Amino acid sequence: MEQPIIVRYRYTQDEFVAAQKMNQQRNRKRSIIKGLTALVILAGSIAYFLITSELKFTEILSMIIGSCMFLAMIYLITLLLYRKIWSDSFNQYPAKNMEVEYYFTPDGIQNSDPLARSEIHWEGITEIIQGNKGFMLFTHPQIMHWIPIHGFENEDAVSAFVTLAKDKIKKFHQL
């Protein structure tokens, strides 16, 4: 491979949100386990309370329905707040709405925007996840680089990147 694989795109709020949504999908399994654990603890607490109390069936049923509605409300509020939280995070990012470039070669990755340039060796990438809209390159479990598919020149460049990345990174998978 003589020429680097080049990715160019403007880092907009839509790009940021797409990356965050994909990262959220990645973490969904952990979130489901945490949520189920909390639900089991809550259900156990309610069951203990109900068994030891002398409430009527209708009172018990209304408590269960009320608890379910409360949990659903918390879940919906959380979903609605994500967009606001992501918007605030993006607005604090110094390189927002700037042109970003990545150059991928067998030796490593070069990244630049108008504020900074960096070079990452392939050994510094711990994981790559491919989604419908792009790739997440992780240098740490909480630090990722967003590479949108539309930033590649064409489909051949995307295929060349996937081949190179799979050759260099042990943890490459799709969502």
Domain boundary, last residue among 37, 69, 91:
91
Are 28 and 56 contained in the same domain? Answer: yes
Are 37 and 62 contained in the same domain? Answer: yes
Tell me, what's the pLDDT at 41? 83
Give 51 or 148, the one with higher predicted confidence: 148
Are 84 and 101 contained in the same domain? Answer: no
Q: For residues 21-34, give the mean pLDDT.
A: 79
Q: Residue 88 CA to chain centroid, in angstroms?
A: 16
- CATH code (residue 133): 2.30.29
User: Is residue 10 predicted with pLDDT exceeding 90?
Assistant: yes
- Domain that includes residue 35, residue range: 13-91
Domain boundary, last residue among 64, 91, 118:
91
Q: Residue 91 CA to chain centroid, in angstroms?
A: 18
User: Is residue 7 predicted with pLDDT exceeding 70?
Assistant: yes
Q: For residues 129-156, give the mean pLDDT.
A: 95
Structural domain total, the chain: 2
3-state secondary structure the chain: CCCCEEEEEECCHHHHHHHHHHHHHHHHHHHHHHHHHHHHHHHHHHHHHHHHCCCCHHHHHHHHHHHHHHHHHHHHHHHHHHHHHHHHHHHCCCCCCCEEEEEEECCEEEEEECCEEEEECHHHCCEEEECCCEEEEEEECCEEEEEEHHHECCHHHHHHHHHHHHHHCCCEEEC
Are 20 and 87 contained in the same domain? Answer: yes
Q: What is the pTM of this model?
A: 0.76
Are 101 and 39 contained in the same domain? Answer: no
Tell me, what's the pLDDT at 38? 78
Give 76 or 97, the one with higher predicted confidence: 97
Tell me, what's the pLDDT at 1? 61
